[in-house]
Amino acid sequence: MKKLILFDHDGTICKSNENAYDSMTYAAEQAAKNVRINIKKIEVDWSKVFNETRGTTEKNLVHYLVYLFHIPLDKFSEFERLYYLSREAWYKNMKKYKEFVYDLYYPDAEMLIDKLKKDQDHILRLVTGNPSNVLNLRIANYLRSTFEDSNGKLRGYFGESAYSRVELLNLAVSSIQKEVIDFKPEYDDKDYIKNVYYIADSRSDLFAALYAKVRMIWVASRSLQEVKDIESEDAMGYILKMHKSRILITNNLEDEDVLKFLES
């Protein structure tokens, strides 16, 4: 049976890089300026902006900024286009002037990806809130052989394509059926898909997986104690009891329970 295994990027495969926020504020300012909106006259609480859009997608962030900056409706599309281009330009400039800070990748995620890609029945793709043009500049070279197609394009579902992770997961399932002829979703008695797995790090990701009805490996923390604390929460205990065959919480993607879960 073919299995679709979807990886989040920031926080799951790599440690989230704080420089990403600098690129977002830069992109927002540049895009607004180019549609003739002076955001310096607008008080922007960037911490609030990022907190309220964390765990969603870049498209959702852009939508949030459009309303915050009072972008006219007829300039919405242009603002969005310029925003993505400006984020890309920020990273290119960082590389050009030798100021680029490379992401720190987690060894356990590297090991798991290396194991999974050896099996032809495993279809590996990215699902991330990042726009594809930005992730293309950030992703580690060693991952390109796994996640690039024959044309050098990253294979995955990215932040410019949907407003939520649920939408991205649904897009992944529907798209892969067209791309891989012999992939077919297999359903359990509650209509959850048994052969689609989402590996990600946030609570938002967990609930996205439940809404999309796919199985979930939740890297809730790299600390075992923190994972145990989360498992002991009353609400989480109830969710795990209801979905014990669909959710695995871990602090280590090299743990043998992860491979057993993926094989089940």
186-220 burial: b if 16+ Cβ within 10 Å, else e: eeeeeebbbbbbbbbbbebbbebbbebbbbbbbbb
Q: How many structural domains does the chain have?
A: 2
Final residue of a domain: which of 74, 96, 118? Answer: 96
Q: How many CB atoms lie within 10 A of CB 176?
A: 19
With CA atoms as reference, report the closest residue to 200 among 260, 125, 118, 117: 125
Indicate the average pLDDT of the chain.
94
Judgement on whether residues 149 and 24 belong to the same structural domain of the protein: no
Judgement on whether residues 68 and 169 belong to the same structural domain of the protein: no
Of 31-40, 150-159, 235-244, the poorest mean pLDDT is in 31-40
Judgement on whether residues 131 and 70 belong to the same structural domain of the protein: no
Range of the domain at 60: 19-96
**pLDDT of the residue at 75:** 93
Judgement on whether residues 9 and 55 belong to the same structural domain of the protein: no
What whole-number percentage of the chain has pLDDT above 90? 83
Judgement on whether residues 155 and 192 belong to the same structural domain of the protein: yes
Final residue of a domain: which of 48, 69, 96? Answer: 96
Judgement on whether residues 137 and 208 belong to the same structural domain of the protein: yes
14 pLDDT exceeds 70? yes
Gap between the Cα atoms of 89 and 134, Å rounded: 9
Judgement on whether residues 80 and 191 belong to the same structural domain of the protein: no
Gap between the Cα atoms of 161 and 168, Å rounded: 7
Gap between the Cα atoms of 168 and 208, Å rounded: 9
Judgement on whether residues 117 and 241 belong to the same structural domain of the protein: yes
| pLDDT, average across residues 3-21 | 92
41 pLDDT exceeds 80? no
pLDDT tens track for 74-120:
999 999 999 999 999 999 999 999 888 889 999 999 999 999 999 99
**pLDDT of the residue at 92:** 96
Q: Is 159 in contact with 131 (CB distance < 8 Å)?
A: yes
CATH of the domain at 115: 3.40.50.1000
The dihedrals phi and psi of 244, each to the nearest 5 degrees, come to: -60, -25
Judgement on whether residues 47 and 119 belong to the same structural domain of the protein: no
**pLDDT of the residue at 100:** 85
Query: What single string gives the DSSP state of each residue in 176-199?
Result: HHHHSTT----B-TTS-EEEEEEE
Give the CA-trace dihedral at 191, 193, 194, 197, to 10 degrees. Answer: -150
Q: Is 163 in contact with 61 (CB distance < 8 Å)?
A: no
Longest dimension (CA), the chain: 57
Judgement on whether residues 225 and 246 belong to the same structural domain of the protein: yes
Final residue of a domain: which of 62, 96, 130? Answer: 96
37 pLDDT exceeds 80? no
Judgement on whether residues 127 and 214 belong to the same structural domain of the protein: yes
List helix spans (H) across the chain.
19-34, 46-53, 58-68, 76-96, 107-116, 132-138, 141-147, 165-179, 203-212, 224-231, 234-242, 256-263
pLDDT tens track for 180-214:
999 999 999 999 999 999 999 999 999 999 999 99
- Taken in order 53, 54, 56, 58, the sign of the CA dihedral is positive
**pLDDT of the residue at 99:** 87
- Taken in order 226, 231, 236, 240, the sign of the CA dihedral is positive
**pLDDT of the residue at 101:** 85
**pLDDT of the residue at 40:** 67
| pLDDT, average across residues 145-150 | 93
Gap between the Cα atoms of 199 and 258, Å rounded: 10
Q: Is 96 exposed, middle or buried (0-12, 13-18, 19+ CB in 10 A)?
A: exposed
Of the CA atoms within 13 Å of residue 108, those in its CB half-sphere come to 17
| pLDDT, average across residues 33-48 | 82
pLDDT tens track for 126-141:
999 999 999 999 999 9
Judgement on whether residues 76 and 191 belong to the same structural domain of the protein: no
